[in-house]
Amino acid sequence: MKNCKLTCLICSLMLMSSAAWSADEKPEITLCGELAQGKIIKGHGENLQKIRINGANHQVDKNGDFIFALTREQKPQTTLEVTAKDGQVYSYDLNIAKSQWDIQNIKGLPPRKVTPSQEDQAEINRERTLVRGALKGDRLETYWKNGFVEPVQGRISGHFGGQRIMNGHKMNPHAGTDIAAPIGTPIKAAGDGIVTLTAPDTFYSGNVVVIDHGHGLQTIYAHMNKIDVKEKQFVKKGDIIGEVGKTGRVTGPHLHWGASLRNTRFIPHSLLDLGKENSACVILN
Ligand SMILES: [Zn+2]
């Protein structure tokens, strides 16, 4: 009898501890989008404080929604770290599919734009500082939730991620997508946001605009003929921000459309699927 009481006591203690354990069990996380290199992913979870991937923290809004991007070189095994509101940290293993990147052989660029002189270096540094500054933004707003459109419709003349060979020199992979269109074609804001950079006449990007969509997400518009917006201006998805041009390092008129999320450059067109009802989702726990 005494033994039974003891067993029952241990039993109920175990039940209590298992009840306490279930109160802070691993949160269920939903991820929507293609888990592949260079793609943007939308996620959701209850009672989350923040998430962390590739060494960067990402905000979670009051509804439990967040976004992150997978790099061009994202490893097949990647860890997503989630901090719950009570401070507990949980890890999730993600399996990332490989993406295909092409080779872009670009000839006929002005030699100065491929192998710049010492004197050009100050201009290049000025451009880097401006663009990097604009891509540091991590606003609380979630303008990205209102969806995205293509800023210009036209032939894709250079895909994101392509290994570029310029005038025979191996350069960095292409950080955006080039859309060919005649000079003067109107450029739309890809999504709602705040214009955080309007820089005229930069060395590589020419006339360049950056729009901040909140949570560390920005879109970049380069080589513009004309800029029709001002810094700190709020734009709606589809508003005209300027015209297609051929300023900066180009061989012909096109829009270079870039996208950056917490400093990870990704495929801009993957924004068009962000949060779509029918996009593929996985549940992790
Ligand atoms: Zn480009």
Residues having C-beta closer than 5 Å to ion ligand 1: 176, 178, 256
Greater confidence, 248 or 13? 248
Contact, 238 vs 221, CB < 8 A?
Answer: no
13 C-alpha to center of ligand 1: Å? 64
| Reported confidence tier of residue 250, pLDDT bands at 50, 70, 90 | very high
**In terms of pLDDT, which residue wins out, 113 or 60?**
60
- Which of 218, 196, 101 is CA-nearest to residue 148? 218
How is residue 272 annotated by DSSP?
Answer: G
Q: What is the pLDDT of residue 31?
A: 96
Those residues with Cβ within 8 angstroms of residue 56's Cβ, 6 or more apart along the chain or in another chain: 216, 262, 263, 264
Q: What's the alpha-carbon Rg for the chain, to the nearest Å?
A: 23
Q: Is the pLDDT of residue 56 over 90?
A: yes
What value does the mean pLDDT of the chain take?
91
pLDDT at 275: 66
Query: In the predicted model, what is the mean pLDDT of residues 182-208?
Result: 97
Domains of the chain: 26-98+274-284 (2.60.40.760), 103-268 (2.70.70.10)
**7 or 88, greater pLDDT:** 88
pLDDT band at 118 (very low <50, low <70, confident <90, very high): confident
- For the entire predicted model, the pTM comes to 0.90
Model confidence at 1: pLDDT above 50: no
For residue range 149-174, list pLDDT tens digits in order: 999 999 999 999 999 888 888 888 99
Average pLDDT over residues 48-71: 97
User: How does DSSP assign 179-194, residue by residue?
Assistant: EE--TT-EEE-SSSEE
Residue 252 CA, ligand 1 centroid: distance in Å: 11
Q: How many residues does the chain have?
A: 285
Structure tokens at 136: 């540091």
Mean pLDDT of 37-49: 97
CA-CA distance, 61 to 67, in Å (whole number)?
A: 10
Distance between CA 64 and CA 43 in Å, rounded?
8
Residue 61 alpha carbon to ligand 1 centre in Å:
32
Q: Both tokens of residue 246? A: 């051929």
Instruction: Say whether pLDDT at 181 is over 70.
Output: yes
